[in-house]
Amino acid sequence: MFESLQDKLAGAFKTLKGKGRITDVNIASTVKEIRRALMDADVNYKVAKEVTDRVKQEALDRDVKIAVEPGQLFTKIVQEELTQLMGGKAQPVNLQGSPAIVLIAGLQGSGKTTFSGKFASYLKKQGKQVMLVAGDIYRPAAITQLQVLGEQIGVDVYAEPENKNAVDITQNALKEAKSKGKNIIIVDTAGRLAVDEVMMKEVENIKKAINPTEVLFVVDSMTGQDAVNTAKTFNERLDFDGVVLTKLDGDARGGAALSVKAVVDKPIKFMSTGEKMEDLDIFHPDRMANRILG
């Protein structure tokens, strides 16, 4: 991922080579190339324009004060602006409460169940007592998938395969978690292939009924601009606390990672980089910016 963006940015920086200082004139074509590179990576026009306008202004402002090679200064400014675009600092998940309740939402196939397992495993390694809750009542395979994951990582899974009321199930799960002294419950919910009213209403109702400490929205980064649009819709309904970007190991162009924070103003908290339980990382905007710049 990001290879093509990396190449294009490197190409844009080259146009500043040998220039003694950054001026309005020599910066214009570089900025234009950066904007085009971002848009080719699936960053939406508005976000690409905002970030490149800021890069340009910063570059012009700082040139007078700092005497370094302009290409280096410029790369540094782009690195800083990309970091800001993706949220600045890594943002922790709120795990207050006994138990803390983490609600997982997103479209079907985005990687919710896989992430739920990974997150449970990550927390278990920190010594927490975790319970996974199978809230996807429509696909029996989803319940089995969570049970298999639970077994694999040694975490309890609460499921009621016969019960067709997701709100009821999650409330029962919460009672059970309390009686067992669990520290954290992770509620995996049902997704659909596209945003639909029944799914939205259901996950909204679950949210109201269990009052989660943290709502995480899971999105497949391979879906580009669609990922950002889906995030917008879910955020309007759920007012989630953070984003989990999945499938960053694929050949996505990277636009979702770059634009989702700017569009919904919610931090990306985790990134998922494979199918295995250990393929989970806390999202660090500065590290991601460095990776993009190669």
Q: Per the annotation, does 110 bind a ligand?
A: yes
Interface with ligand GDP includes 191 (CB under 6 A)?
Answer: yes
Pinpoint the alpha helices (H) of 128-224: 140-153, 166-179, 197-210
For ligand GDP, the closer of residues 9 and 228 by Cβ is 228
Interface with ligand GDP includes 182 (CB under 6 A)?
Answer: no
Q: Using the rule CB under 6 A, give the single segment among 13-21, 172-180, 254-262, 270-278 that binds ligand GDP.
A: 270-278
**Pairing mode of beta strands 280-282, 268-272:** antiparallel
> Which 78-137 residues touch ligand GDP, going by CB under 6 A?
106, 108-114
3-state DSSP percent of the chain in helix, strand and coil, to 5: 55, 15, 30
Tokens of 158: 């609460």
Q: How many CA atoms lie within 13 A of 168 on its CB side?
A: 7
**How many residues belong to the site for ligand GDP (CB under 6 A)?**
18
Q: Least distance in Å: CB of 203 to ligand GDP?
A: 12
Interface with ligand GDP includes 147 (CB under 6 A)?
Answer: no
Q: Per the annotation, does 192 bind a ligand?
A: yes
Q: Using the rule CB under 6 A, give the single segment among 14-22, 77-85, 89-97, 267-275 that binds ligand GDP.
A: 267-275
For ligand GDP, the closer of residues 83 and 145 by Cβ is 145
Q: Which residues contact 55 (CB under 8 A, 6 or more apart)?
A: 31, 34, 74, 77, 78, 81
Q: Least distance in Å: CB of 135 to ligand GDP?
A: 11
Q: Which residues contact 266 (CB under 8 A, 6 or more apart)?
A: 217, 231, 235, 240, 241, 242, 243, 260
Q: Which of 226, 249, 281, 286 touches ligand GDP by CB under 6 A?
A: 249
